[in-house]
Structure 1
Amino acid sequence: MKRLLLLGLMLGWLFQPVQAQQKKSISFSHIFDRTFSPEGIQNVNWMKDGQYYTALVRTNNDIELRKYDILTGDYEVLVASSGLRVEDRDRAIIIQDYQFSADENKLLIKTDVERIWRRSTKENYFVHNLETGKTAKLTQSDEKQQYAQLSPTGEKAAFVQNNNLYLVDLESGEEKAITTDGEENKIINGATDWVYEEEFGFAKAWYWSPDGNKIAFYRFNESRVKEFFMIEWGSLYPDQTRFKYPKAGEKNSIVKIGVYDLESQNTVWIDIGEETDQYIPRINWTENSGTLAIRRMNRLQNKQDLMLADVNSGKTQTIKTEDSDAWIDINDDLTFLENGEQFIYLSEESGYNHIYLYDMSGELVRQVTTGNWEVTNYLGYNEENERIYYISTEESPLQRHLYSIDISGDDKTKMSDGEGWNSVNMSRDHKYYIETYSSPEMPSVYTLHEGSGKEVRVLEDNNELKTTLEEYRMPEKEFMKIPLPQAELNAYMLKPSDFDSTKKYPVLFYVYGGPGSQTVSKRFDSGQRPIWHRYLAEQGYIVFSVDNRGTGARGRNFEKQVYKKLGQYEVQDQIDAARYLLDQYDFIDTARVGIWGWSYGGYMSSLVLAKGSDVFSTAIAVAPVSSWRFYDTIYTERFMQTPQMNPEGYEKGAPLTYAGQIEGNYLLVHGTGDDNVHFQNAVEMVNKLVSEGVQFETMYYPNRAHGISGGNTRQHLFKMLNQFILDNL
């Protein structure tokens, strides 16, 4: 008996370490198979009553639009694609997107969506009456439409087609052209040109007034903007895609703002000043359908006027002007109060982004939030309890937490817990909100809360993923601060799970580094790049990332040091951070330090290898800018002014300038169909490298856009990137 007991103890003792050793290894295939991807609460569209929301759900054979009770999770199917049919269409209407009428009795359904650029699409629309069950095509035209929306009363709709704005009466079916001068690559009504879409973040450029009797819209005259073209490979005689793309220092579209009156059928053009070389980044209706708010910026984007327009006369009054010694960021955070006397406005005039209350004459009532931290997300204002909801960096630039505050600036309340990252989806009536919380090693947890902050229930805890993560050897992030003479920088290090400080490890820097960006944060990352980084760590690499000067969440002075000097301070910070690591840690192999990045990150990695080849031996640049002369007006001039005004900055900030200094292993990757950072950047970089006698590797992806995706593309790309690191670092 004693021998059996002793044998059992020995077996137990032997079995325990074997179990510990049986943790699985991350494989390369995990980058794409979603093993480490958290479940989420997707497509939540709140209804008027905040207790309910709708979402599209794909079943085995159908797509259902479901209405959920947020408290119980119970749902009813409002409509399914299989039941949506109309005459003269030989197939069901697949619901790809939808919107409700104001009374929530009608649905405007989007289908047959065809993507154009990042945010722009064209599609077919159908109107479904939830009470009668009847479905009808929005317009009798055989051509696709854009940006359709029902009027606030639900009796009419408007849409864009072939660069013109149209109105349709849903009862009679009568259609009317609001504009008639639309023409491809010349005049656009109700939609944006390429550069507004990309850099100001919107494609639909028309808006119903609150009473539904007027429509405010943009008109772009891009006649003077030069055309860019991309070759469409794949046929015997390749075609071309031609579009207007204003490069830095070149001419922009001339923008006008019109307001169409449905009753008089006339358009009033708003007085936005005699200057045409300017921007109108936002227009918003106030609570009064007779007054339109317009934000106007100069071309350098360091001055912004808030104007109020009388839409009946077209006359405007500037009520507030904001100036900056660098640039002013655009946001959607402008709320007009129901009292018609005040508005909420966000600005970094104090040095940090904060919430302000103004009266309608533009006089400051008070600064609502204050402190050396940033409001990163303004969530809204509850008229009933007079509280403002927002997310900020008050705890740390690496974290995000939810707060509410009385509009008086008193009674600030922190509404989220834990050390990590919170995001919030709040109902329109502020009755409930869904909070998403994660930390670097904990997947997202979704919880439902009352507007007061009280937790109601857990919607998704991702416990299955937590269990999965425990089954794998998983490197953990180590956060640190890099104390450089010019600034203290936030960083993280990802070490192998079996890290041994007596060994030597190669280091791969991951960089983005562009203005306002952030790669160092205390949240759970599960995309392809983070999983690849964890995979590399388990292959014996240390992955490192540092947020250089110019990145976000640390106030105006930290971010805007890079003004007129893109690629100078940021690159120096990356090189100095690498030198700091080499000096501090004996476990780093000084001969094997690399860097990689995409877009702005590819731009940075190119410059880092050129200027820091004494530290870095390897760099990967995916879709990089090689000269800011090749990039668009709005983004580039926001940070660099024009090439004519700042020739030295453009010269010193161009990888082309330093291409001859590149030593080591350099891989340049680009898509030939990149409408954003044109393939021209790679072509010119290759040409310069060849002329300078620099050896390098390159890969181009035919017809692929800036994201380099589609079909097997991402698998091919990451396999190539991975092999390049294994071979050269």
Structure 2
Amino acid sequence: SGVKEAFIKQITEREEERPGYSVEGWAGNRLILSQTDRSDYKEYFFPEYAGTYVDPGETQRGIPTRIVSVADVDSGNVEIIYTKKGYLSTEISGNGKYLALDLMDPPMKNREILVYDVQKLSSTKVFEDQTEGWLYNTNMEFAPTGDKLMFQSEQDGLYHIYTVNPDGSNFQQHTFGEYDIPWASWVDSNTIAMATSEMDPGERQLYKLYLDNNRRIKLTSDEGYRQDFQLSHDRRYIVYEKTFFNEPFDLFMVDTKIPQREVRLTNTVPDSFYEYDWQQEEYVRFKARDGETKLSMSVLRPKKRNPDGNPVVVFVHGAGSLQNVYKGWSNSYWREYMFHQYLTTLGYYVIEVDYRHSTGYGRDFREDVTNWMGKYETRDIVDGLGFLADNYDKADTSHVGIYGGSYGGFMSLYAVGTAPEHFDAAAALRSVTKWENYFYTNPWYTLPRLGDPEENPEHYKRSNPLTYADSLQRPVLLLHGLIDNNVGFQDAVQYIERLIQTGNEDFELMIYPTERHSFRDEDAWYDEYRRILQFFEKHLKD
């Protein structure tokens, strides 16, 4: 091995109250170290009640201060090169000469990429971007040989590929157009493998991109949705998950040197799955009321048509920043999808709209909701109902139920509170009802979208379902885990208390004592959807 003497050498020595070090990697004979300082986090509580004694469930929440240092292994000297509150990622060039820092401020409005000469500890700003909404899904990577840095940005409106030298020279944009590139990685010093939505927002195809002339070679062609891409160590093969309508995800592979030969690696779906008569959802694209915004929607038709019309259930995906309408099996909401199939056997239409705020459709589409969450999402869903009424026989949009969890629960309460002429009942799971609560425990999410509640109270007031609870005209069902430590049970309590104090009796509440935000117990899942079904059967069918 060439090793003549083995020894252990301590490089860092920190004070007890200071945050610990993480090793980002080697840069020549130097180590790149990072620290995450949470000393100014505040304490919050998510109590647990099911045990012998009440557990207060304390937790620390806030936005961290990130620290990056360079440690000289020979001298033991550790020098801090960056300290600031916010978010960062690091990347070290293959030859160890350069360190890139991808930086975002706490509101996620400003991004800059700094490249450091590791020996000189001098930096060059090679890229910066600003937005009035919030930045999303940054990515950067040095070429496997040489010093060229590839990064992705939505600077021109959609997520595209750029390269630049460490000194900021030879800045180039390599992809253009009205589509996203959700993944990109180097194959060699002149070639990048990438996934794009160029064919359709609901598809993901793989390509090779040659940087010298931006020529592309398509690696896959079968219709479908691909995700979770991984390059082999020799950078020749790409392994990923692939799905299509009613075909759950399995692993596939493509050889970057042999295009159009996609190979299936796993077959994990049992034969019994296909014994069920799954209805293929219809994937449609339509324009919103402004005549410009294009929306994606999925539709499941009722198995039995009612001569007087069939009621409609609207499902609203969570997270806000998520794509769930695409040409494939839902990775996030497979339970809900099976529930929707069952609803069709009972005579319901079931639709879902990727409303503004969803990812995969560009910066403007996502950021339209900044400073007023709920407004444009509701409009888009209502426009989806309009498209359904105009194009699907016997879709009775005078009997509409809406439901969802987390952000989808928030949207269900917001929609029924602000647009009762379009929605007749709402089932809301683990719902945000007052965004100020979420700001204090999850500022990383709420600050970029609504700002600070003390500085922008109007953004919160108009976005809160609680604001519209006083005048609620439709029945609601709230379901919430008592020990939810993401959206605290406090939100359900405050909403129900407002209904009680205003004399509203048309509501139901179910508490799940041992469930957090994502339910784990199958009995709780079953109980939840049983109650939603009974609720819609009661309120949507005459």
User: Same fold by TM (over 0.5)?
Assistant: yes
Alignment-derived partner of residue 671 in structure 1: 481
**Partner Cα distance (2:145, 2:488) in 1:** 48
Q: 1:718 aligns with which of 524, 529, 532?
A: 529
Cα deviation for residue 599 of structure 1 reads 0.9
| Superposed displacement of residue 312, structure 1 | 6.0
Check 1:181–1:594 CA distance in 2 against 1; reply closer, same or farther (3 A cut): farther
* 1:555 is aligned to 2:344: no
Letter in 2 for 1:692: T
Aligned to 2:255: 450
Q: For the Cα contact (< 8 Å) 2:35–2:68, is it kept in 1?
A: yes
What amino acid does structure 2 have at the position aligned with 1:451? T
Partners of 1:519 and 1:180 in 2: CA distance: 45
Whether 1:564 aligns to 2:381 is no
Aligned position for 1:376: 182
Amino acid at match of 2:410: Y
SS in 2 for 1:479: strand
Q: Which residue of 2 aligns with 1:141?
A: none
The 1-side partners of 2:88 and 2:298 are apart by 36
How many Å apart are 1:450 and its aligned residue? 2.1
The answer to whether residue 45 in structure 2 is matched with residue 229 in structure 1 is: yes
Please give the secondary structure, in 2, of the residue aligned with 1:712: helix
Q: Which moved more, 1:595-604 or 1:450-459?
A: 450-459
SS at match of 1:575: helix
Paired AA for residue 700 in structure 1: I
Distance 1:484 1:448 in 2: 37
One-letter amino acid matched to 2:380: D
Q: CA deviation at 1:449?
A: 3.0
Q: Once the 2 structures are TM-superposed, how far is the Cα of residue 572 of structure 1 from its aligned partner?
A: 2.2
- Residue 324 of structure 1 corresponds to 131
* TM-score (normalizing by structure 2): 0.89
1:240 alignment counterpart: 56
In structure 2, distance between residues paired with 1:443 and 1:678: 32
Query: Within 2, Cα distance between the matches of 1:628 and 1:182?
Result: 36
Alignment correspondent of 1:492 = 298
Supply the distance in 2 between the matched residues of 1:712 and 1:266 (Cα, whole angstroms).
57
Structure-2 residue corresponding to 1:685 = 495
Q: Which residue does the alignment assign to 1:57?
A: none
Render the CA deviation track for 1:497-542: whole Å, top value 9, x for unaligned.
Answer: x343745211110012654422211112472111111111122211
Partner of 1:616: 423
Amino acid at match of 1:475: Q
Report the 3-state secondary structure (helix = DSSP H, G, I; strand = E; otherwise coil) of the residue aligned with 1:321. strand
Asked if the contact 1:281–1:330 (Cα under 8 Å) also holds between the matched residues in 2, the reply is no
Cα shift readout 1:251-277 (whole Å, capped 9, x = no counterpart): x443322334444334221144xxx5x
Rg larger for:
1
1:356 is displaced (CA, Å) by: 0.7
Tell me the C-alpha RMSD between the 2 structures: 3.0
Counterpart check, 1:587 vs 2:397? no
- Counterpart in 1 of 2:466? 656
Unaligned runs of 5+ in 2: none
SS in 2 for 1:636: helix
Deviation, structure 1 residue 415:
1.4
Could you say if the C-alpha distance between residues 689 and 318 of structure 1 is closer, same or farther in structure 2, counting changes exceeding 3 Å?
same
Distance between the aligned counterparts of 2:241 and 2:92, measured in 1?
31
Aligned to 2:104: 297
Q: What does 1:1-400 correspond to in 2, within 5 Å? A: 178-182=12-16, 187-190=18-21, 206-211=23-28, 213-222=30-39, 224-246=40-62, 252-272=63-83, 276=84, 278-289=85-96, 291-310=98-117, 315-331=122-138, 333-378=139-184, 380-383=185-188, 386-400=190-204
Distance 1:714 1:417 in 2: 38
- The one-letter code of the counterpart of 1:394 is E
Distance 1:211 1:698, change over 3 A: farther
Cα pair 1:623 1:671 within 8 Å, conserved: yes
**Residue pair 1:359, 1:365 contacting (<8 A) in 2 also:** yes
Separation in 2, partners of 1:427, 1:396: 27
User: How many Å separate the matches in 1 of 2:385 and 2:413?
Assistant: 15
5+ residue gaps, structure 1: 1-102, 104-152, 156-168, 191-204, 247-251
Contact 2:180 2:198 (8 Å CA) reproduced: yes
Q: Alignment partner of 2:86: what SS?
A: strand
Q: Does 1:422 align with 2:226?
A: yes
CA contact (8 A) 2:43 2:60 kept: yes
Q: Quick one: distance in 2 between partners of 1:557 and 1:215?
A: 36
TM-superposed deviation, 1:177:
8.7
CA contact (8 A) 2:404 2:412 kept: yes
Inter-partner Cα distance in structure 1 for 2:90 and 2:151: 14
Relative distance call for 1:513 and 1:528 in structure 2 (3 A) is: closer
Distance 1:236 1:447, change over 3 A: closer
* 2:417 partner SS: helix
CA drift of 1:393 comes to: 0.7
